[in-house]
Amino acid sequence: MTAGVGRVAIAGAGIGGLTLAIALRRLGIDAHVYERATELRPVGAGLSLMANAMLALRAIGLEESIAALGEAAQTSVGRRSDGAELSRFPIAEVAREVGSSAVLLHRADLHAALLDALGAEHVTLGRAAAGYRDEARAPAAVRFDDGSEVEAGLVVGADGLHSAIRRQLTGDANPPEYSGYTSWRGVTDTLCGAAPGQLSETWGRGCRFGIAPVGRGRVYWFAVANAPAGERDAGDPRPMLLERYGAWHAPIRALIEATAPERVVRTDIADRPVLTRWSRGRVALLGDAAHPMTPNLGQGGCQAIEDAVVLSGALAAHAKLPDALADYERIRVARANGIVRDARRFGALAAREGALFQAVRDALIRWTPASLMHDRFVELFRFDDPFAARRALIE
């Protein structure tokens, strides 16, 4: 069947674009990725892949190899800046309940593994999509910024937050919105005393610090604070980070000090108001191009992986492209958009600076019933491949 698409041209070799190309090629659908960057250097530091992403990776045969790259999270702990525990959540247990694990890993390792699974020959670097062409009685095509085009039966915009494909598809509706807070991320080469398997987040007044061991003795850390949009650090950011977080509980100071300044990545946090359609004609959006979200629930990459698995399955299961894209949107839009909204709400609460608010928030974190947390995470972590039967038939 394969929706009669012939060739799928994917703009963007991020987590979403690479996963989609892998999933499609496993189903016998020709797919090629066009990436703007001239070399693949993953931006960012660490990443958590929650159980839903691992289940989606299982559907395309990648769960085990990707899990082996990192470290399974056992517990998730919320703390005050003096180290006192506000909450403790058995993340591994909940992941097991839905049939998988939550994995903490280095982004570079994930990108390398995805590229390896796809085959570098299916990615062309240094090609920046500027938009697309989709006219009657002619194949669709990706248009590049040098004026050249590549024809395809389906064009997928997996080109991230500032997607050029989305710009054309939506007429640039819903531009990115800065959240009001920025982030710094780093990975150390030593544990610095961090507890293996423990994902932790420490709450201050309008700022946070997260710690996630990512395997092989390395630790991914992130700091979040309110800041004007577009502000940049003048030189080494660590003195400022130490001033802000250095007196917090161990091993926060040690983690900041152990990271070379050039390996600290600063990113302003943004999302966009949600879209209710992710496709038009022979063009579809995926990952951050479709539903960029603030990283507060650690789900942006996970949702891009879910998109890739569902879109590939829908294309294999339907004879007609409009039916496949309608199914993709039916299955994915409400779930991903719900997470965009939840992540935004969570981030806005975390960014509040008042002392009274902080006391109330800490009490809320401490006293939120475990059963409520459990149910919310089970819902978040579930993923059932809707096209498993079709996939099994083909592979």
Ligand X SMILES: Cc1cc2nc3c(=O)[nH]c(=O)nc-3n(C[C@H](O)[C@H](O)[C@H](O)COP(=O)(O)OP(=O)(O)OC[C@H]3O[C@@H](n4cnc5c(N)ncnc54)[C@H](O)[C@@H]3O)c2cc1C
Kindly list the residues in this chain that would bind ligand X in the complex (CB under 6 A).
Answer: 11-17, 34-37, 47-48, 128-129, 158-160, 164, 183, 185, 267, 287-289, 295, 298-302, 304
Q: How far is the CB of 226 from ligand X (least distance, A)?
A: 15
Closest CB to ligand X among 52 and 87?
A: 52
Cα–Cα distance measured from residue 286 to residue 333, given in angstroms and rounded to the nearest whole number: 10
Q: Which residue has the tokens 């590049």?
A: 144
Q: How far is the CB of 242 from ligand X (least distance, A)?
A: 20
Q: How far is the CB of 13 from ligand X (least distance, A)?
A: 5
Closest CB to ligand X among 12 and 386?
A: 12
**Sign of the C-alpha dihedral computed for residues 256, 260, 261 and 264 taken in this order:** negative
Closest CB to ligand X among 34 and 248?
A: 34
In the chain, the N- to C-terminal Cα span, in Å, equals 14
Closest CB to ligand X among 13 and 21?
A: 13
Q: How far is the CB of 183 from ligand X (least distance, A)?
A: 4
Closest CB to ligand X among 16 and 70?
A: 16
Minimal CA–CA distance to 385: which of 131, 99, 193, 183? Answer: 99
Burial class (CB in 10 A: 0-12, 13-18, 19+), 229: exposed
Beta bridge partners of 218: 215
Cα Rg of the chain, angstroms: 21
Cα–Cα distance measured from residue 139 to residue 149, given in angstroms and rounded to the nearest whole number: 11
Q: How far is the CB of 305 from ligand X (least distance, A)?
A: 8
Closest CB to ligand X among 300 and 318?
A: 300
Burial class (CB in 10 A: 0-12, 13-18, 19+), 378: middle
Q: How far is the CB of 363 from ligand X (least distance, A)?
A: 27
- Where does the chain have alpha helices with state H? 15-26, 51-59, 63-67, 91-97, 107-118, 164-170, 238-245, 252-257, 300-317, 321-350, 355-367, 370-381, 388-394
